[in-house]
Structure 1
């Protein structure tokens, strides 16, 4: 009788999907295998179909027809992973929440250890990769540089190698959802809200099937968004460059005037003038570009558009 009335902890697994038809049944099978060993938890799986052009939605519906704990959100178009995570977190109702990639790069087998961390008093237990094996060297280099730069210029620490893969309490999720900006950088949001957090190290796991939708340019833009969202250092940098250029130009002007007064005005060379003009023009364009990035973020935020639009939630 006691077992029948036992109160289970609802655990919501949030899985954004974009063209993951082959991986959908695999990630769900791994989750079921993991939770078969966790009798105190009730698994609720939420797949977010983010504008997939393959048969991802069909694969999700097939799982749902056979399993009552499977739900899905079908987005009206591809809004991106950030919107997908927000959609899942804001729709699911549970005691604990977990975000996973559908490609099995986030091993469900780590969830029991994450839950142990929650039981030990942590509000968030996440996963951080200790290596980047399987990635192109150039991508790994720039990823490592990004973490070094953003942690040097931002007051919000970003853990190197940290994944979106994490288990969170309801209180943490509510805090994240209260940050209503439409241009989201979740790694920063998770860190900014605070709470007692622990990261579990693990080695990089290559995706099972399909091709990642993250190319070099999309990752670069994502990194720039993170820098703009959590630091005004780029603005300070261009201000400093402008000040240094002004002081240098002033010193050079004084030198030229004094030299002309003493030795006369020698024939000026146009190559040096062109070089100086190009240098100053480049600095100005750099400054305008950085300021424009901030203005662009403001422009997108003040429109107050919804973070996502769902075609169907079931």
Structure 2
């Protein structure tokens, strides 16, 4: 099968309990619509039997393809691998936990017929806790004000991308990827609709509070440099405040003489300025750390096994060539990453 009309990319991490139910539900929707399709599973280094389940599905159905990572590299890397593996004219990204209902695929594909290069299924907040809903809304509002791209509350990874949009996403080489921002940054005509939020069919969410905060910070610094400018503005504001305070002290001394030194005022000022300096250094450090990651140019993931060639694995773009087969004559030997092993 050299090409197909629809590719469904499904990142998986510890989804042993639900992967087979998801696959059945997906086939029940895809087979009646009479499009040629493929299902691309990406096992993101699961610690359970998710990889074995996917392997069995691929053995039973030639429309199923998969890649298994050598360890957990994160969902961003898994989505990137799936997009690289996909061959369809359109690509649909879905989660395997059934929170992205397969029943919505016909509606998504119907909107694609209107010429949209992106079709986004946006979930509402039905069934979520009040605190989580409030924090999510506040986070999206903050990112909307600060980021150079538009990120909408409820719009996640459940979306359709045309081949043109997929090629645009794959052309972006950054190491620290924030897909929600990337999908918005590439543009193209986009349609969206809202669906009722669905709880996980089994297992537990991999996104705890700390992970969500880190993800939000990563997205914030990925698409703007406003935090750095905020540090400059804060410094200028503090300098003006200090100048005003100094003038007030001079006037007060001229009118009333020297009073007892204000220990509390001095201590408060030192602590406040120290906190601002540390926060500013943290912002600068976040950007420097991202520069460090980009300069190293490490691959986004390492493949352990793939349906393309199960005995050797598929070399992902960015992984160094095999020392025994692809090294140039006369080149010095080094450490090469391939199939999750180290060769010297």
Q: TM-score, normalised by structure 1?
A: 0.94
Q: Deviations over 1:83-105 (max 9, x none)?
A: 00000101221211111000011
Runs of 4+ in 1 over 4 A off after TM superposition: none
Residue-pair matches, total: 306
How do residues 44-193 of structure 1 correspond to structure 2 at under 5 angstroms? 44-129=38-123, 131-193=124-186
- Alignment partner, residue 270 of structure 1: 263
C-alpha contact 2:125 2:197 (8 A) present in aligned 1: yes
Aligned-partner SS, 1:213: coil
The answer to which of 133-142 and 175-184 deviates more is: 133-142
Q: How far 1:9 sits from its partner (Å)?
A: 4.5
* Alignment counterpart, residue 211 of structure 1, candidates 186, 189, 204: 204
The answer to which of 168-177 and 58-67 deviates more is: 58-67
Mapped to 2, the partners of 1:247 and 1:109 lie a distance apart of 59
CA-based RMSD: 1.5
- Alignment partner, residue 5 of structure 1: none
Mapped to 2, the partners of 1:52 and 1:134 lie a distance apart of 28
Q: How far 1:133 sits from its partner (Å)?
A: 2.6
1:260 aligns with 2:260: no
Q: How far 1:36 sits from its partner (Å)?
A: 2.2
Q: Deviations over 1:25-68 (max 9, x none)?
A: 111111110012211x1121111110100110111112122111
C-alpha contact 2:6 2:36 (8 A) present in aligned 1: yes
Aligned-partner SS, 1:37: helix
Mapped to 2, the partners of 1:172 and 1:301 lie a distance apart of 23
Mapped to 2, the partners of 1:211 and 1:160 lie a distance apart of 22
- Alignment partner, residue 36 of structure 1: 31
Q: How far 1:137 sits from its partner (Å)?
A: 2.6
Q: TM-score, normalised by structure 2?
A: 0.86
Q: Which has the higher contact order (CA 8 A, sep 6+)?
A: 1
* Alignment counterpart, residue 26 of structure 1, candidates 8, 21, 37: 21
Mapped to 1, the partners of 2:279 and 2:224 lie a distance apart of 17
Which ranges in structure 1 are unaligned for 5 or more consecutive residues? Answer: 1-7
Aligned-partner SS, 1:255: helix
Mapped to 2, the partners of 1:36 and 1:61 lie a distance apart of 21
